[in-house]
């Protein structure tokens, strides 16, 4: 799934993007070594003058005032306090809060006597200011000097490992924690599972979690965030139910991870229940919670509900605007996305790079070449946002979809970054729609090199040969695919009926009502065939003969999910289906016709976008 997801162009998960940072902050915030108040207890001097200076240092740390802090430092040297350990600790803390790690380090290096607190503050400071490697080195130095470390040292160093995804170091620290009997400490355990989760070692993370004798709310929310980051949405929801049963208090991170999990599963009913829970718990104006709520409704196909949530917030931060604009873009409501984009600027909120990704995405989905081009330049000229690889990716998409394949190719060529596989993938898809064989071969050649195991690329290329009636090349491409041992991911679709998510594989056998589903499907196909529906077998690339291929195509998972939806849901309820791959051309036609003869609204979310089928038409305008 990961590979296929990559090649279809671009999708930025706005929901998770900021959550990653917020959870790191969350884990850090739990370690008290960073708080100046904790440094006060080891006082060495008690004159009012000294304590006045200390109070000032704390104030400047809290208010992030480096200039005033430096003046205070000068005063400290002037009165001859620089050798005092407590004062030095506070200086290190102040400098680190103000982001001046070098100054903090200079104070640390000059200290004649270091207590444990000095080391902790310095290591924490390095870890929080992006100097993870330095933090690790300092920890090693501390060990060599024989200074005993505390739980807080260990959790700071682990935070550094998480940011660098340093798996090897993390394992060593894990062993160290066990040896020092610190592994049962709640801070250490939480930091450990956080590192494992961020390094995609989710099994190790949940092992640490299950072994912990004591867990804080941060532990629970870190574990849930870990599941969500690793696409294990069902596991995240199970954990949420466990927190509910254990009567634990929710925090903003547990709630927003849960909403993210619902979004990942397109579990709307569950999502609405969590919406109820969060209102009761008083989180409806929390920006993290609200932006994941907007994202969830948008991803579940309820763009109207997303907008209602957005409108309900008085103070909208950029994160909320971005989530809403991205939601509109995903639903091909480009007009709304652009209106919101203008509106946010009227309210004096400057768009950032994430906003521009969403806006360019909106242009791409609607084939708005000129607008896209305009925004791309506006971004650099007026908002001084320099385009990153995602913006270029959007432009390649915009040109490609509009059939300006040369322009798309030139964009790739002149880009100041390494070309990503997703760009070649986007170009290849555009070549399929606009039947450009030459560029398709160029793009495919790059893709085969970059992603030798992605079957999707072979499939696309051979489809392009097929529509151009190059049968020899089709045969060759299929032969290559067969020989290259690449595995095609099996199609799978989900539909939520009465707060239970039902999943269907292509050619499903195990669902309890499958016999009835197949017979109803046959009836529907017979009806559609009278309306000139013909199975488009070129969309199926299994290595089987035509008749078997027709049968496989009939049983694509989204068709089965649709029939089940028709069976179970009342007439006025839209049928919402989620699919793990891009919807094929045949299923797309099938959905359009079905929406017409059954007079139902059908919403399919595939890996690329949403398709709203109504009265025989799709919102994507057959452009996906």
Site residues for Zn ion per CB under 5 A: 556, 584, 587, 611, 618, 620
For the chain, how far is it from start to end, CA to CA, in angstroms?
A: 18
Nearest approach, Cβ of residue 130 and Zn ion (Å): 43
Report the residue number, 203 or 534, with the smaller CB distance to Zn ion: 534
Nearest approach, Cβ of residue 556 and Zn ion (Å): 3
Report the residue number, 326 or 535, with the smaller CB distance to Zn ion: 535
Report the residue number, 243 or 589, with the smaller CB distance to Zn ion: 589
Nearest approach, Cβ of residue 311 and Zn ion (Å): 28
What is the side-by-side strand order in the sheet with 500-505? Answer: 500-505, 492-497, 575-579, 602-605, 610-614, 617-618
The secondary structure of 528-563 as a DSSP string is: HHHTT----GGG---SS-HHHHHHHHHT-HHHHHHH
Nearest approach, Cβ of residue 333 and Zn ion (Å): 14
Report the residue number, 259 or 618, with the smaller CB distance to Zn ion: 618
Nearest approach, Cβ of residue 502 and Zn ion (Å): 18
Report the residue number, 411 or 575, with the smaller CB distance to Zn ion: 575
| In contact, 91 and 76? CB cutoff 8 Å | yes
Nearest approach, Cβ of residue 249 and Zn ion (Å): 43
Nearest approach, Cβ of residue 401 and Zn ion (Å): 13
Report the residue number, 575 or 584, with the smaller CB distance to Zn ion: 584
Q: Please state, in angstroms and as integers, the Cα–Cα distance from residue 459 to each residue in 195, 204, 245, 340, 609, following that order.
A: 37, 36, 47, 38, 20
Give 110's contacts (C-beta < 8 A, 6+ positions apart). 82, 88
Report the residue number, 61 or 618, with the smaller CB distance to Zn ion: 618
> 37: buried, middle or exposed (CB in 10 Å: 19+, 13-18, 0-12)?
exposed
Report the residue number, 97 or 556, with the smaller CB distance to Zn ion: 556
Tokens of 14: 């706005």
DSSP letter assigned to residue 283: -
Q: What are phi and psi of 80, to 5 degrees?
A: 75, 30
| In contact, 458 and 468? CB cutoff 8 Å | no
Nearest approach, Cβ of residue 564 and Zn ion (Å): 16
Residue with the two structure tokens 């000129």: 370
Give the DSSP H or E segment for 502.
Answer: strand 500-505
| In contact, 226 and 218? CB cutoff 8 Å | no
Report the residue number, 316 or 611, with the smaller CB distance to Zn ion: 611
Nearest approach, Cβ of residue 592 and Zn ion (Å): 8
Three-class secondary structure of residue 609 per DSSP: coil
Q: How far is the C-alpha of 606 from the C-alpha of 159, rounded, in Å?
A: 36
| In contact, 356 and 371? CB cutoff 8 Å | no
């Amino acid at each position: 799934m990961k590979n296929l997801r990559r090649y279809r162009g671009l999708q930025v998960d706005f929901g998770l993007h900021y959550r990653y940072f917020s959870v790191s902050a969350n884990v850090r915030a739990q370690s008290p070594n960073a708080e100046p108040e904790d440094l006060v207890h080891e006082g060495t001097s008690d004159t009012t003058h000294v304590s006045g200076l200390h109070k000032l240092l704390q104030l400047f740390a809290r208010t992030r005032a480096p200039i005033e802090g430096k003046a205070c430092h000068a005063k400290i040297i002037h009165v001859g306090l620089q050798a005092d350990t407590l004062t030095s600790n506070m200086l290190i803390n102040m400098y680190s809060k103000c982001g001046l790690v070098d100054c903090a380090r200079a104070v640390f290096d000059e200290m004649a006597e270091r207590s444990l607190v000095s080391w902790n503050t310095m290591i924490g400071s390095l870890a929080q200011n992006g100097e993870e490697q330095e933090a690790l080195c300092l920890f090693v130095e501390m060990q060599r000097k024989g200074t005993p470390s505390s739980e807080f040292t260990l959790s700071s160093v682990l935070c550094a490992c998480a940011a660098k995804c340093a798996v090897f170091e993390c394992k060593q620290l894990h062993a160290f924690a066990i040896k020092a009997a610190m592994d049962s400490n709640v801070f250490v355990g939480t930091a450990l599972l956080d590192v494992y989760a961020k390094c995609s070692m989710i099994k190790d993370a949940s092992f640490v979690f299950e072994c912990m004798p004591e867990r804080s709310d941060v532990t629970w929310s870190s574990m849930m965030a870990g599941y969500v980051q690793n696409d294990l949405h069902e596991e995240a929801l199970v954990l949420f139910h466990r927190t509910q049963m254990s009567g634990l208090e929710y925090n903003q991170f547990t709630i927003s991870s849960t909403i993210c999990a619902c979004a990942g599963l397109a579990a709307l009913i569950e999502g609405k229940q969590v919406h109820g829970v969060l209102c009761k718990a008083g989180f409806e104006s929390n920006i993290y919670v609200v932006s994941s709520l907007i994202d969830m409704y948008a991803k579940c196909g309820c763009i109207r509900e997303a907008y209602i949530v957005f409108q309900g917030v008085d103070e909208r931060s950029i994160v909320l605007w971005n989530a809403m604009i991205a939601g509109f873009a995903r639903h091909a409501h480009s007009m709304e996305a652009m209106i919101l984009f203008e509106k946010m600027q009227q309210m004096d909120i400057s768009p950032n790079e994430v906003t521009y990704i969403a806006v360019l995405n909106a242009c791409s989905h609607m084939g708005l070449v000129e607008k896209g081009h305009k925004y791309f330049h506006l971004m650099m000229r007026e908002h001084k946002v320099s385009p990153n690889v995602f913006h270029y990716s959007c432009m390649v998409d915009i040109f490609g979809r509009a059939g300006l394949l040369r322009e798309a190719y030139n964009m790739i060529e002149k880009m100041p970054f390494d070309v990503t596989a997703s760009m070649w993938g986007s170009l290849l898809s555009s070549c399929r729609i606009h039947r450009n064989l030459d560029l398709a071969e160029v793009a495919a050649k790059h893709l085969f090199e970059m992603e030798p195991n992605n079957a999707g690329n072979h499939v696309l290329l051979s489809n392009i040969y097929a529509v151009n009636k190059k049968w020899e090349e089709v045969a060759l491409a299929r032969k290559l695919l067969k020989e290259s041992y690449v595995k095609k991911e099996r199609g799978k679709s989900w539909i939520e009926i009465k707060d239970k998510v039902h999943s269907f594989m292509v050619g499903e056998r195990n669902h309890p009502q499958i016999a009835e589903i197949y017979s109803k499907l046959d009836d529907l196909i017979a009806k559609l065939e009278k309306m000139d529906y013909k199975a488009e077998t070129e969309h199926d690339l299994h290595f089987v003969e035509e008749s078997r291929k027709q049968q496989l195509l009939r049983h694509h998972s989204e068709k089965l999910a649709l029939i089940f939806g028709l069976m179970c849901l009342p007439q006025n309820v839209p049928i919402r289906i989620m699919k793990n791959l891009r919807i094929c051309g045949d299923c797309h036609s099938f959905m359009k016709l079905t929406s017409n003869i059954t007079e139902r609204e059908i919403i399919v979310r595939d890996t690329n976008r949403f398709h709203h089928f109504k009265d025989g038409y799709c919102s994507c305008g057959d452009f996906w």
